Chains A and B, each alone.
Chain A
Amino acid sequence: MNGLGELFDDAEGRATRDAGDARLPADEFGVVHTKVRKAHARRSALRASLVAVAVVVLGAGVVYGATWFGGTQVADLPSLSATPSETPSPSPNPTETGLAWPGFTGSLTVDPHLPSASAITRDVWASVEPGWSLISYREAWVAGDRGELGPLVVYLVSPEGDRYELVNVPGETVSVLAWEAGSATAAVSVQPEGDPSYAGVLNLVTGEVTPVDGYAPYIWSVAFLDSEGSPVWTGNDGTSAYVAIAPDGTQAEYSIPAAEGAAEIAIDELGLPGVDCAVAAPYDDESSLVHCVTADWAEGLEVDPADIHFAVVRVWPADARAELLYGVTGDEGRVSNPTRAGDYTVGSTGGAPNECSTQYSVLANGNATAVPGVGSNLHPLGDILLPLGSVGSVLTWGVTSGCTDGVATPIVVVNSDLASDEYAVLVPYPEGRPAGEEPNESVTGVAVGR
């Protein structure tokens, strides 16, 4: 045991003794009681006002939800993915739309702690279009009791996984956050050793970073993808809950559209005892994705494994309408972290209900269909799945580990075409590193070109 747990236990025991027989004064209990009562009154009023609307517009979504939770799936349901979005258009003819050459050095860094890659050429750069990605890469490992870092290189990566070195960035670790395809700059965060992180704009030709005001998230902090397929970041302390970062480095608070009242509607429509719902991500301008979990399961008390315990629901607050996209029983595992990717809804699935997800799936019509590439042993310990961006039907996502045992490992980056069932590995798991130098970090950032 490490001692920290004992210290906390001892501290809470001391605090409990100090609290003694403290009681909430009667007048303050009255305040608490009144606030709770008013909240329930508002809920009742809201429910009453929605009933009239719901009778007309709930329609298939509610019928489906109720039927699904009753244990019978309906065959002919409105499908979220019945009409997949068009796949990205083929690469344009470079001679027609080729990009101006920014003056890259065209050099290639060769190091045992870098993935295989090629030097950037004018022809390659001319064919860049939305769907190509920037990926910043730096391996970190522990040698003895000392942390070591490999070189940091920013790669341009084609949708098929061809990597081209753009620039070698010496010094502080840089994470690419947002990029406009064809631009010679990108929004980044910088993580200096021992100093606070800061936001900046990286010159992809020179490797210089110009600091800008704002939040400096890391790749872990992606909350979900917006309607354009760009990552929205979980805000830091003292900022808004979510932050959107543009390729030029400008930042703005992000609010999920159609979130007001959505969780309440999902709770009412699911009708499960103890269900607890929260808005998790945007769906479109009129609806949002709500994640629900039953209190019984969350608290781990007596539960029936056959009951639904996790669900992802699409809710239209203005219409008081809800549609169950996916729900799972205690036996089936869990679903969490839903997000939109083009015309699809994806989320982490599988695993035991109180453990970590093992799958990344497209959620629709009560079914979870594995995202192409999932289950292909792309990562030896993968149990954390990160949405990183999407263009058309292609979802860029990452897989790493740490949910189960807290062990940090490199991130494997994958492009999956949700319409064609094909996938490409953009950055593989780093194999064959020198003995004793197996990295625990690799990809520091991914920015899918818009």
Chain B
Amino acid sequence: MAQRNSNDYAVVWPRSAKAVEIKPLAKRLDTVDGKTIAFLWDDLFRGDEIWPILKQELSRRYAGLNFIDHDAFGSTHGDEEHRVLSELPDKIKSMKIDAVVSGMGC
């Protein structure tokens, strides 16, 4: 084993380079009014109760909102998650979605 100056060890870092660069977040919306908002769900932790509350409250505060439910995408967790996630970019583009709300991390 490498020993320098009596019992010293010269060691390297056990981690490795990041495989991803820091990317800028997308520009935020000027207003929520009139926007199309999609919900993504992992089928977990009471999202089915939370989405209606969010929709109701956002609709109360903003005019002309359009919502696209999680059913349009499939579950983002489980046996089909890789397919669901790979299909997301095209679906988001084709559905003219302005913003996405995703859950549930729990």
Whether both chains belong to one complex is answered with: no
